[in-house]
Structure 1
């Protein structure tokens, strides 16, 4: 991706200026907004490649802005905030943040994380639905369903659960090591093997409840496999 556009939504001018300086130095284009409402308007009008979003903002707070973005599309979002509590981080990730950085931060780290998120997300548009047994995944619409016709059930997945499901579905029957799933699917701040286990456990429970029992299985000492046991 050449010269990606970064939208910085930050109400402290000094921090916004520092981030702009470091992003521009690395070849990015930038635009800034000092409150949530203006930031959301810039997002709708400019369609940036990635958004750096503070939580405590005038107008609309970062959670509201993130939720509004997620109702429209899956533009990558990195939350940058002074809130270091785990519940704040989990709420941001649950709503759909791709990553989370706590102030005070090293601006080089923010740029590095932005590059990592863009590497994970670039090229995901225009992909064909993936089908494994009764499971259908639309990577662009962020929708996963089980069954067909009147019996079709839509899975209510978190962003990370969907990432894991789509990533494994791209190579059905292959066994994925936990470390690979961490690198490919989890935000930087969530990158622990046991966190993968928790997400996969929730994902397996949701698949089973929708009628796709046995589709996602563990391989002892290695990782996980997504495969149609009837295929």
Structure 2
């Protein structure tokens, strides 16, 4: 049984008191943020014992069980099944065995750290990965994005916000894989040896599918639909990431990652070019 000081306790649905106490994490604030190393009052807003259908599986790789439990509570409200692993090695095994739809990955893990885990995941899988870091430093985010992360949150964080981000990435991943509503009209873009399909969100080179993250494909499709018109980082961030504010440097990081995959010389790109002072654009003709 977890020990928790409960000031506001609201539970809805057919649930016993004992089942509530079994689920209580010991680290949470009244406004719903999660941190480390202190006891806080806990307000339970979770619909326990609900009848929501499981619609996705999320792997939480986090060495702090209390934090993992709280994330599980909030994701469970949406019918999302969660799996918890406390270290990188067991987390990677779970990626292979349990085939999660998304991974919430703590950077500061014992033994193999989160960055190593992320690199290993990206060798074989394109599933969305949200990093969790204890430090609020841009370098952590930039490094994570460079390795293939789709998003990140810093501790202390709001589990409600994290749950919303998880839902957003799962929704986008469904559209990419065809599991949800997709565009009724197929749009394909051809440049050089590449075929970019916006319906299946795939990139083929000489009929072979390239390993691309969902965000990379999303960004490529956006540039393709811009018909060769340059788009600035702020505009790209707003349209592709769906956010008004944030670290727009992640746009440049993702552009570099795409260039490394499709350009013969990423320092002198043929396809994704920069119009200085204006932004990035996709050159369908690949002129020098």
TM-score of Structure 1 vs Structure 2, range by shorter chain? 0.7 to 0.9
2:222 aligned to 164, 167, 170, which one? 167
**Contact persistence 1:52–1:79 (CA under 8 A):** yes
1:122 aligned to 169, 174, 177, which one? 174
Name whichever of 115-124 and 23-32 sits farther off. Answer: 115-124
Deviations 1:5-61 (A, max 9, x none): 111111111101111111102221111111111111111111111110101112422
**Which ranges in structure 1 are unaligned for 5 or more consecutive residues?**
150-154
The reply on whether 1:65 has 2:117 as its aligned counterpart is yes
**Inter-partner Cα distance in structure 2 for 1:100 and 1:6:** 15
2:133 aligned to 81, 100, 121, which one? 81
**Contact persistence 1:49–1:75 (CA under 8 A):** yes
Aligned pairs for 1:1-231 (under 5 A) are 3-125=55-177, 131-137=189-195, 163-169=218-224, 171=225, 173=227, 175=229, 178=232, 181-186=236-241, 191=246, 196=251, 207=263, 209=265, 213=270, 216=273, 218=275, 225-229=281-285
TM-score between both structures, scaled by the size of structure 1: 0.73
Higher relative contact order (CA 8 A, sep 6+): 1
Q: CA deviation at 1:141?
A: 9.8
Partner in structure 2 of residue 152 of structure 1: none
Aligned length: 223
Name whichever of 64-73 and 115-124 sits farther off. Answer: 115-124
Bigger fraction of residues in helix = 1
**Contact persistence 2:132–2:155 (CA under 8 A):** yes
Q: CA deviation at 1:110?
A: 0.7
**Contact persistence 1:66–1:97 (CA under 8 A):** yes
Q: Secondary structure at the match of 1:124?
A: helix
Q: CA deviation at 1:213?
A: 3.6
Q: CA deviation at 1:168?
A: 2.5
Deviations 1:48-90 (A, max 9, x none): 1111010111242211111111001111000112032222221
Deviations 1:76-135 (A, max 9, x none): 000112032222221111111100101111111110111222233222237999543315
Over alpha carbons, which structure has the higher Rg?
2
Q: Secondary structure at the match of 1:173?
A: coil
**Which ranges in structure 2 are unaligned for 5 or more consecutive residues?**
1-52
